[in-house]
A = this chain, B = another copy of it.
C-alpha cells in the first residue's frame, strides 16, 4: 500500500480530495476528447470543401481528368476524419458513463468512511488536549525549576512538586488517551488508505482503458488515411500523360482525320480526274473526289 495517514495526519483529506479529483479528471478527459472530435469534424468539413473545389476544377484541357483523382482522395479523407469524429463521440459517451459510475462509487465510499472521519476528528480534538496538557506540565516544571534555583522554602517546593507531579499524571493520561485515539485512527486510516488506493487504481485503470480507446481510434484513422494517400499516388501514376492527351484528342475530335467537307458526290463524278491529279490530295483530299473515297464511309 502506498497511501498512509500523511503529514500531520492530513492524509485523509488529501486522499479524499484526490478521489474527488478523479471526477474532475474524467470530466476533463471528456472535454479533451470532445475538443478533438470538434477538430476532426472541422477537418472533415474542410476536406469536403476541398473535394468540391477539385470537382469544380476546369473540365477543359488535358489536365481535367486529374481533378477527379483529387476529388475522390479529398472526399475519402473527409470520410476518414468524419469517422474519427464519430468514434470520438462514442468515446465521450463511454467516458460520461464511467463518470456517472464514479460519482456513485464516491458517494458509497464517503458513507463507508464515516468512521474514519470521526476518528480523524477525535484525534484532532485529543491532539489539542495533549498540546494544552503538555504546556501545563511544561509551565509547572519551569516553576519548580525557578523555585529550586531561588532556594525557595521547603513548603513552597513541595507544593510546586505536587503540582508538577499532578500535571505529569494528567499529561500521562492525555498521552494514553491520545495514543488510544491515535491507534483507532491509525487502524481506520489504514483501512481507508487501502480503500482509497483500490479506488485510485481502479480509476486509473479505467482512465487508461479510455485513453487506449482514444489511441486505437486515432491509429485506425491513421491507417485509413495512409491507404487513401497510397491510392491517390497510385491513381496519379496510373493516369499516363499519353493517356490524358489521347483522351482529350478523342473527346475534342482532334485525334481523328475527319472529312473536312462532304456531300459533293452527286455532281462531282465528272471532275474526279481533277482531284486525283494532286500529289498533296492524298494527304488532304476532299472526300468523294478520289476513288478510295467511294468506299462506304464509316462515320
Contacts and interface: CB of A to CB of B under 8 A. Distances in A.
Interface of A: 2-9, 11, 14-15, 17-18, 21-22, 24-25, 28, 31-32, 35-36, 38-39, 42-43, 46-47, 49-50, 53-54, 57-58, 60-64, 66-67, 70, 127, 130, 134, 137-138, 141, 168, 171-172, 175-176, 178-180, 182-183, 185-186, 193, 197, 200-201, 203-205, 207-208, 211-212, 215, 218-219, 222, 225-226, 229, 232-233, 236, 241-242, 244-246, 248-249, 252-258, 260-261, 264, 267, 270-271, 274-275, 278, 280-281, 283-286, 289
Nearest to A61: B21
A7 B249 CA distance: 11
A180 B285 CA distance: 10
Contacts of A283: 183, 186
A208 B236 contact: yes
Nearest to A20: B61
Contact of A4 (B46, B49, B201, B254): B254
Q: Can you list the 6 inter-chain pairs with the closest CB atoms, starting with the nearest?
A: A21-B61, A183-B280, A25-B63, A6-B254, A7-B253, A186-B284
B185 A284 contact: yes
B254 A70 contact: no
Number of copies: 2
B9 A201 contact: no
A255 B207 CA distance: 22
Contacts of A182: 260, 280, 284, 286
Given A137-B267, A175-B274, A182-B286, 10 more contacts: A6-B255, A11-B253, A24-B58, A32-B50, A35-B50, A62-B203, A138-B267, A179-B275, A218-B229, A222-B229
A52 to B, nearest CB: 10
Contacts of A35: 49-50, 53
A197 B236 CA distance: 20
A180 B21 CA distance: 95
Nearest to A3: B254
A168 B270 contact: yes
Contacts of A168: 270-271
Contact of A245 (B2, B42, B54, B137): B2
A284 B179 contact: yes
